[in-house]
Amino acid sequence: MTQPTLTRSWVASANGHRDFPLQNLPLGVFSINGSAPRSGVAIGDSILDLHAALDEFEGEARRAVEATAGGQLNSFFELGRGPRVALRERLLELLAEGSKLQTREAQVLHRAVDCQMHLPAKISDYTDFYVGIEHAQNVGKLFRPDNPLLPNYKYVPIGYHGRASTIRPSGTEVRRPKGQTLPAGQTEPTFGPCARLDYELELGIWIGPGNAMGDAIAIGDAAEHIAGFCLLNDWSARDIQAWEYQPLGPFLSKSFITSISPWVVTAEALEPFRKAQPARPEGDPQPLPYLLDNRDQNAGALDIELEVLLTTASMREQNLPAHRLALSNTQHMYWTAAQMVAHHSVNGCQLQAGDLFGSGTLSGPQPGQFGSLLEITEGGKKTIELASGEVRKFLEDGDEIILRARCRREGFASIGFGECRGTVVAAH
């Protein structure tokens, strides 16, 4: 599918919109004036109410719209690529300049600022991977300077099972968690609020059609099981994590909240921004056969610019601009999204429509590209100086983290993901 680059929309705010031009058309779930949640499509500064426009769809496109009923996109994800493409093609017609749908604008279109966004789907399972190799090396150096990457990293897409019940949409407050920590120089832990609260810049991956328990998803088919993408902030309590993670890995340090951007950017919208998976450095092992597919290696990576911004309560009071903490890219993923799907299911694990994967922190190799404060401050050894005169090593109450994403390519309209925001509030 080619991107309709030159096509304009009758929704004036969509033309040249930072995130949601006609070429994007992400799906989400919203409510307005206390209404029940319903499905919609982001277009400029507005949301198209899919069910208010149901009579404009027929065939596979109508089937897709009907599957978005009930305030959850799980059934839509389960349909797979065919109906999803049919819906996109019809939306491109309906929202393009000259469409008769413009005469029904008041009936089918809502101002986004008047709407509340919800999670796009019921998330039964959430897995957080660790495929950002630059992050893995940076963190490894802090704890194992002579051996930052363990031997399995370049063979296995590392991941852990996260907590689906505390995933929340952008804008939800981040309550500072409490837990056990081991103070420096002490031999017994104490209990209290986290003092080293951090963010992690990640890509979220929504699973489409699942698999039966016991059946593996082949690497050549894995991309067909991905419905779309979002931004994801894997909030992390570093002091709690340091005490609890051995021998089984993250637990309470990660499960208190995970924030996601509420719009699902479809695989089709991202087609112009696909890239070859970066070549592995000389000496790195080739992926095992169940993880290796030529099509995936040639076009399974994505070129998405990722940005992290910080504002503090003082900065907002002084009307100071947000401080950029990082500018990175999804091309720093050592494993593709398809490889994550194939690996997750190879043992017969059942994936289901609406499952969510996190990519792991996507840092770049250079300062200014690090996707966590743990890396930026070298574990708290360095400080970040802000225009307000404040300094930070980790997040304080009142701090807000903003994640953004942008896809750019010459000859194509750029698209974005919308923001993923979270403001830290004090522990109870």
Active-site residue list: 135
Sequence-distant (6+) residues with CB within 8 A of 138 are 148, 363, 370, 375
> CA nearest 169: which of 233, 114, 229, 226?
233
Q: Is the dihedral of CA 340, 341, 347, 352 positive or negative?
A: positive
What is residue 198's three-state secondary structure? strand
Q: What angle separates helix 59-66 from helix 81-95, to the nearest 10 degrees?
A: 100
SS3 label, residue 236: strand
In terms of Cα–Cα distance, which of 54, 36, 62, 73 is closest to 353? 73
First to last CA, the chain: 51
Which residue carries 């109508």 as its tokens?
62
